[in-house]
Amino acid sequence: MEEQPSENSPPPAGSKPCYRCGTELPADAELCSRCGRTQFRTCYCGKEIPVDAPTCPHCGADWSGSRRVHKSRRRRSGKVRPQEVVKSAAIGAGAAIGIAGLLTILLRYFATIATGGAKLPPDVFAQLGLARQGLGIVAAGWSEWFVAYRLSFLFIGAVLVIGGVIGVSTYLANKGLIKLGSASRSSGHRHSGRRRRSTSK
């Protein structure tokens, strides 16, 4: 009787795991039989290389920044572990309690603004109505403040935009994608060449 491989047995020779789901595939498989993902990509040099290869073995191109390479390092397992289920449930419950507490604090804050600091009614729906009124009061105050300082905000926004354009231009220039001041440098080289020729004459 043929022995069935166990879950923890090593993969057979000449096989490879799918970079996406971890299914063991033949070494020359182009598609995963389970998730259907392509296992090879075309490099800049035109050669086919594995999707999870950090560099091209033919031209040395760097593929380490590829998202699919990073995903291949996180092998997924389809096995459900009770400890992880309980941990996920506890995290979700804690997040729900935190969100509920934050919403309650905000609700009572805006409701207190609407009542002018008076005692809040015990009814939750009444507190919701007061909170809506308090939010409108706060929004009106912010609108008046923004209108009063709109010129300052426009100036700050213009400075930020100009600074961002300068930063992006500098980055692209360092990457060699654009050339800053190339015309002035080339004209300077031409003038210096003319001066050298005139002095040599």
> What does the pLDDT read at residue 70?
46
| More confident position, 191 or 59 | 59
pLDDT tens-digit map of 79-105: 778 888 899 999 999 999 999 999 999
Over range 41-53, report the average pLDDT. 86
Spatial separation of the C-alpha atoms in residues 61 and 45, rounded to whole Å = 8
3-state secondary structure at position 25: strand
> What does the pLDDT read at residue 35?
87
Over range 13-21, report the average pLDDT. 80
Q: Which of 52-66, 76-90, 140-154 has the highest mean pLDDT?
A: 140-154
> What does the pLDDT read at residue 136?
92
Q: What is the mean pLDDT of the chain?
A: 79
What percent of the chain is predicted at pLDDT more than 90? 27
Identity of the amino acid at 9: S
Q: Which two tokens stand for residue 196?
A: 């050298």
Task: Give the start-to-end residue ranges of the domains of the chain.
Answer: 13-77, 82-148, 152-200
3-state secondary structure at position 35: coil
Q: Is the pLDDT of residue 14 over 90?
A: no
Q: Is the pLDDT of residue 194 over 60?
A: no
- Taking CA 111 as the corner, what is the angle to CA 108 and CA 115, rounded to the nearest 5 degrees? 130
Q: DSSP letters of 82-118?
A: HHHHHHHHHHHHHHHHHHHHHHHHHHHHHHHHHHTTP
Sign of CA dihedral 166, 169, 173, 174: positive
3-state secondary structure at position 5: coil
CA atoms within 13 A on the CB side of 102: 6
Spatial separation of the C-alpha atoms in residues 37 and 25, rounded to whole Å = 12
3-state secondary structure at position 32: coil
H-type alpha helices, 149-179: 150-174
Spatial separation of the C-alpha atoms in residues 95 and 91, rounded to whole Å = 6
Q: Is the pLDDT of residue 73 over 80?
A: no
> What does the pLDDT read at residue 156?
93
pLDDT tens-digit map of 147-167: 888 888 899 999 999 999 999
